[in-house]
Structure 1
Amino acid sequence: MASLMLPLLPVYASVEDVGLLPTPPMGFNNWARFECDLNETLFTKTAESMVSRGLLAAGYNRLNLDDCWMQTSRSDNGSLQWNTTLFPHGIPWLANYAHQHGFHLGIYEDAGNATCGGYPGSYRHEEQDAETFASWGIDYLKLDGCNVFAEEGRLLRDEYRVRYHQWHEIFSRMSPPLIFSESAPAYFSTDATDWARVMDWIPFYGELARHSDDVLVYSGAGSAWDSIMVNYDYQVQVARYQQPGYYNDPDFLIPDHPGLTDDEKKSHFALWASFGAPLIISAYIPDLPDTVIDFLTNKDLITVDQDPLAQQATLVSRDDRFDVLTRSLSNGDRLLTVLNRGNNTANTSISLARLGLDSKCQYSARDLWTGTKSTITDSVQVNLDSHATSVLRITPPRHCKTTPTGTVFNTASGKCLTASHNVGFEVCNAADDQVWKVSGLGSKFTLHPLSDSSKCLSASKKGSLSLVPCEGGPGTIWSHYLTGHLKNTVGGCLDASGQSASTGACDLDIAGQIFGLPSGVKLATGLR
């Protein structure tokens, strides 16, 4: 059984200072659009266009260089060197240019022996490279994870932790520190337990982290929409890690990709904004159509993305057509985001109860695409074309409370906890018996299915699950942890590994014990 000794909440960014990056970053990166075809002119033209087309004013204030900016070898004293053909004026000049135009400049390196493109990695040059970047005027580092090999006696996931922790320590001693974007989790995304265990330490070291595959590059083969949906599905699994100062990063926005429809481009942006994710554009901005600039600068959606509560939208329900997501905003408003994942136009109805709202109250709502205002008394009706997304900002009366509500799902299987006759995990189908209301104070709570709110999920000492009247018995009290474990005060940790759901001894290396819950659930500390 794996040890359960892990860092405890509160989660801190790399220098224990939420103020370093109080909201998710916005800006430009060359990789998905241009890969290694980057140069000084690309960045100066991009900056000029971002200013003239309103992107800088909308909040996109970062210019980030990705791989291939450097020479193929270090200098005689071991320091990194920029490619003088690509950057004839030099990186310090480009940083100064960026600052003069209102931008920050970020850069790319790798924790391994070499970058993904084969250029010098930072292994055993970490301190020197950090000092070099700072001296050039860089304030943001994306640290990739290619070519990392485990030292003798270490698991590979532990080797990544050692190397990223070293950077964390270096930045902690710097004044000012660099914003630290970590790519380590992406190298473990195909193994549910290794991936989760890497994610457990990631928020303690940096401000944001790439957790999954690269989004499809402009010249890549395959479906750009499918690529976006892969990263979207990973993002849904990691909501519990996000809070002010640390942000889950599902990779770049690709609004000029030729494989995307207009609805898909808009959905990509709306979903990332609903997640409170970094909004880093990888496109040739001077040639973007005005219609694309219009949605990228949508003030209402950017306000949602930059909301200081930094709560990530989570699943209310899922079936073979619609994903329904919700989150709370810092002023008490509730966000409703609906994605039509199906291939045809379809409609759906979402009750107030599913959004954690009181059906006895009347709510005002604003469509964040059109600005249209409406009043909601019992449910929201949505009609969407294939791969389109609706986003509503719902304002409750002051006396009406919001309760965390949504799916409880196993992140490895994707199956939803279902309050059927025999409580278990089934393919998500958006039925009321798969939507759970989380009630309680602090990190101890009960779980009520929407299909019968008088009943609570209960575990016995032997590990069996059942629905019982909600009378406060110890078997009905649960806690959720940063590790994803859902622990009962009587029966141990919920486990979806077997033929039927049960509880048992908590184990970090059992993927069936890792769960996603609705946003707004306070995490417990000290899992043992």
Structure 2
Amino acid sequence: MLSLLTPKQTILLVSLLSFSANASANPLCPRLDNGLALTPPMGWNTYNHYSCSPSESIVHSNAQALVDLGLQAQGYHFVTVDCGWTLPDRVANGTMTWNSTIFPSGFPALSTFLHNLGLGFGVYSDAGIQMCMTGTPAQVGSLCMPRAPNSDKSQANRWQSTNSWMRLLLLLGELIFLNVRILFLSASFELTVPDDNCYSEAAADYPNTDYSPTVSPSGRYQNMSSALLSTKRPIVFQICEWGVDFPSAWAPALGNSWRVTNDIIPAYRTIPRILNQVVPQTSFAGPGHWLDLDMLEVGNNVLTIPEEQTHFSFWAILKSPLVIGAALKDTTTSISTESLNILLNKDVIGYNQDSLGVAASFRRRWTEEGYEVWAGDLSGSRMVVAVANLQDTARSLTLNLTDVDVQKVGSLKDIWNGVTASNVATAYTGHVEAHGTILLELSSFTAAAAVSAPTFYSSASFTPAGDAVRTTCSTGLCTPVGSKISYLSPTGTASLSITAASAGSKLVDVYFCNNDIALSTSWLYGTNTRNMTIAVNNVVTRIEVPLSGKSSELFSPGLGWQDTGIFKVLIGGWQEGANTVVVGNQGGAAGYQSYGADFVGLGIYS
């Protein structure tokens, strides 16, 4: 659990959002080693409930509630003021400062208040010219745009090389203004200041969100990371660029956590969308470096209680920072007892703060049946397993222990059902509400016996037809084949005759590539999945495969579509002897994507 620090030891939590402008990209070290966030940070943030309208009274009342409701005692330590706290412009000496209308006592007094409660002070800033979503006039961001003498905001001003002294708010017992020298390189475009926003690089007609920056944002975070390290102060640095440039490849060298997806939205569909994007990234997490799945919606009355349990369970076992985004207590709102109890669950918090620091990984999905399994190791030779019900109805679901490579469990704890069991062999069945999750802790378990390796059938041996085409991949990609079949559609297929020794259903490893990231579509229908069907003798099994890509489509184009993922699925229709196997995208014209995931191969277990 995150230790509570004295005021002199208090760590400032800095959250930095991205886009726009240009910065140098220096060589990145493999991992930042600042000795901080050895377990995922926990706390409270103003944004999800109050958006960009924080105030001194809001922060005071919710910080006090962290203590009074017992949340601080469970590790919720940081209180972060998100967007909306600054003035529209810097003051004369270039300093970003607070808006005294909404923070009349000032940040020094606010920091003292929080420190006296035993809490840490977190501050949001932006890697662009202006902060996100702060209304009119927009508030200044961390990038400094010099203006020509006697110019006004209606004039376009060309970016130029400049050494910008950024004054950071370091709240370590008292408010300290620290000058940090950061170099921003010149850009080759002009900006009209009033219309600029935190995302856009365009000179005019700014899009609301630009998910295709011409330069990777990593350089700006390199600058900030170096500046923070140069202070010699303990500062937890959280990075956010919404997963545009696959930050898991570079952010661990710069910060303590990094957002891997677009924003969470106040609806259940956001949870599976985020989980599908996390699938290929769980191995990047570890002590001091965490995947950030965004702030929690638990307590905001936008999810059912079972959905809140699912949300909290997965954020915890994937080792995301646990940052409350609900109003705990203000003049009109108090968090419900049911939601508070979820946030206070000691077992689930313990999985998040476990010293081993291993994020759970995706194990199985039953697409048509509507459920999936994730699992991860814990300290003390334990395991945490989540069985998520993706359907809209309550039911019983069964975990086959072999799906998590276990044969027998000496002790099992079913967290949300409040059930314990001993000597569980083969399988465990539990009740789960619509969109709920069976969250299990396994201990004293026996590993499953090794199974014979599957027989692998390369996509190179399949015959493409219709829209489908065979594509040669870059060296070392589309493993283990080196090529794939793309453009699977209702009329584009890949087929092969495969001989089976027995009839019935068979467990199959599906090797696929999918890098169809939901960025602009994430607010509406984006799921971070693609459809694929496998028909054996005309018996069709449909699967929705998650993302597999580990490269940016912007700055490593095509490589993310050549990273192989493996999806384990039970496929029926097999007969003894010859079988016609057709991989395609049946149903693609009936509500699924027109083109399915790319196909690399099948591993068939006997």
Q: Same fold (TM over 0.5)?
A: yes
Shift of residue 81, structure 1, vs aligned partner: 1.3
Match of 1:204 in 2: 253
Match of 1:388 in 2: 436
Shift of residue 512, structure 1, vs aligned partner: 2.5
Q: Classify 1:362/1:326 alpha carbon distance in 2 versus 1 (closer, same or farther; 3 Å).
A: closer
- In structure 2, what is the Cα distance between the partners aligned to 1:177 and 1:496? 50
Q: Classify 1:108/1:457 alpha carbon distance in 2 versus 1 (closer, same or farther; 3 Å).
A: farther
Match of 1:73 in 2: 89
- Which secondary structure state, in structure 2, belongs to the residue aligned with residue 129 of structure 1? strand
- 1:128 and 2:148 equivalent? no
Deviation digits for residues 88-115 of structure 1, max 9, x if unmatched?
1111211121111011010111111111
Matched AA of 1:332: S
**Which runs of 5 or more structure 2 residues have no equivalent in the other structure?**
1-25, 145-162, 179-196, 204-211, 463-475, 489-493, 495-510, 514-549, 568-606
- In structure 1, what is the Cα distance between the partners aligned to 2:512 and 2:292? 33
Q: Is the 8 A contact 2:402 2:448 kept in 1?
A: no
Shift of residue 464, structure 1, vs aligned partner: 3.9
Q: Classify 1:301/1:131 alpha carbon distance in 2 versus 1 (closer, same or farther; 3 Å).
A: closer
Matched AA of 1:294: N
Shift of residue 495, structure 1, vs aligned partner: 4.7
- In structure 1, what is the Cα distance between the partners aligned to 2:432 and 2:447? 29
Deviation digits for residues 204-247 of structure 1, max 9, x if unmatched?
11111122222225xxxxxx112233223323342122111111
Q: Classify 1:168/1:380 alpha carbon distance in 2 versus 1 (closer, same or farther; 3 Å).
A: same
- Which secondary structure state, in structure 2, belongs to the residue aligned with residue 128 of structure 1? strand
From 115, 127, 131, give the equivalent of 1:115.
131
- In structure 2, what is the Cα distance between the partners aligned to 1:380 and 1:120? 54
Q: Classify 1:384/1:296 alpha carbon distance in 2 versus 1 (closer, same or farther; 3 Å).
A: same
Shift of residue 380, structure 1, vs aligned partner: 1.5
RMSD: 3.2
From 251, 254, 263, give the equivalent of 1:214.
263
- 1:21 and 2:37 equivalent? yes
Q: TM-score, normalised by structure 2?
A: 0.62
- In structure 1, what is the Cα distance between the partners aligned to 2:171 and 2:87? 15
Q: Is the 8 A contact 2:28 2:250 kept in 1?
A: no
Q: Which shows bigger deviation, 100-109 or 89-98?
A: 89-98
From 298, 309, 326, give the equivalent of 1:266.
309
Q: Classify 1:46/1:162 alpha carbon distance in 2 versus 1 (closer, same or farther; 3 Å).
A: same
From 350, 366, 387, give the equivalent of 1:319.
366
Q: How does 1:161-200 map to 2 (within 5 A)?
A: 161-186=218-243, 188=244, 195-196=245-246, 198-200=247-249
- 1:331 and 2:380 equivalent? yes
Q: How does 1:29-40 map to 2 (within 5 A)?
A: 29-40=45-56
Matched AA of 1:123: L
Identity fraction in percent = 25
Match of 2:598 in 1: none
- In structure 1, what is the Cα distance between the partners aligned to 2:343 and 2:176? 28
- In structure 2, what is the Cα distance between the partners aligned to 1:138 and 1:57? 30
- Bigger share in strand: 2
Shift of residue 175, structure 1, vs aligned partner: 1.3
Count of matched residue positions in the alignment of Structure 1 and Structure 2 = 411
Q: Is the 8 A contact 2:167 2:177 kept in 1?
A: no
- 1:248 and 2:267 equivalent? no
Matched AA of 2:127: A
Matched AA of 1:367: D
Q: Is the 8 A contact 1:29 1:63 kept in 2?
A: yes
Match of 2:217 in 1: 160
- In structure 2, what is the Cα distance between the partners aligned to 1:328 and 1:250? 20
Structure of larger gyration radius: 2
Match of 2:400 in 1: 351
Shift of residue 515, structure 1, vs aligned partner: 4.2
- In structure 2, what is the Cα distance between the partners aligned to 1:382 and 1:243? 31
Matched AA of 1:146: C
- In structure 1, what is the Cα distance between the partners aligned to 2:454 and 2:177? 53
- In structure 2, what is the Cα distance between the partners aligned to 1:133 and 1:60? 18
Shift of residue 126, structure 1, vs aligned partner: 6.5
Q: Classify 1:164/1:457 alpha carbon distance in 2 versus 1 (closer, same or farther; 3 Å).
A: farther
Match of 1:418 in 2: none
Shift of residue 325, structure 1, vs aligned partner: 0.7
Deviation digits for residues 240-296 of structure 1, max 9, x if unmatched?
221111111111111233332121122211121121111111111020122221121
Q: Is the 8 A contact 1:115 1:147 kept in 2?
A: no
Q: Is the 8 A contact 1:238 1:516 kept in 2?
A: no
Shift of residue 131, structure 1, vs aligned partner: 6.0
- In structure 1, what is the Cα distance between the partners aligned to 2:102 and 2:339? 29
